[in-house]
Amino acid sequence: MRPSWDEYFMEIAETIKKRSTCLRRQVGAVIVKDNRILTTGYNGVPPKMRHCDEVGCLRRELNIPSGQRHELCRALHAEQNAIVQAAKYGISIEGSTIYITNQPCIICAKLIIASGIKRIVYSGDYPDELSLSMLKESGVEIVNFRLS
């Protein structure tokens, strides 16, 4: 049976997350408009830096719980990388949908709101109620999607 568009793009996000070099959580993101992929991203360090799987994870070493102290991470989140990629190549993501393999954190939620993304489809939980609250307040449609 042919997958729905949400199933199709969530499966692609699941594949994209395999490129992640994060030692704690692999996340993939796909930004789509009119059922066409605009950009993708996975969590990993900025270009020209050594990856976490090479140098270790400071958050793991300091035993920092998930969802806290984002500033102590070398990596960008998948959503951040997808949004940065759009900016770098001059691609408008206004009115688009972002598919993410985890619920966005508060930092990513603010970037999603500010960038004009209108819909989020995500499949995994993340300990950040404030992000969901802000997304709802801003009018971003949120779909909690589970792959079968």
**Runs of H (alpha helix) within 102-143:** 106-115, 129-138
Residue 6 has what DSSP assignment? Answer: H
Q: Is position 79 annotated as part of the catalytic site?
A: yes
Task: Give the span between the Cα atoms of 42 and 80, in whole angstroms.
Answer: 9
- Residue tagged active-site, from 79, 94, 137, 141: 79
Tell me if 108 is assigned to a ligand binding site.
yes
Tell me if 51 is assigned to a ligand binding site.
no
Tell me if 22 is assigned to a ligand binding site.
no
DSSP code per residue over 9-64: HHHHHHHHGGG---SS---EEEEEETTEEEEEEESBPPTTS--HHHH--HHHHTTP
In a 10 Å sphere around its CB, with 0-12 CB exposed, 13-18 middle and 19+ buried, how is residue 64 labelled?
middle
Binding site for Zn(2+): what residues are annotated? Answer: 77, 105, 108
Q: Annotated catalytic sites, by residue?
A: 79
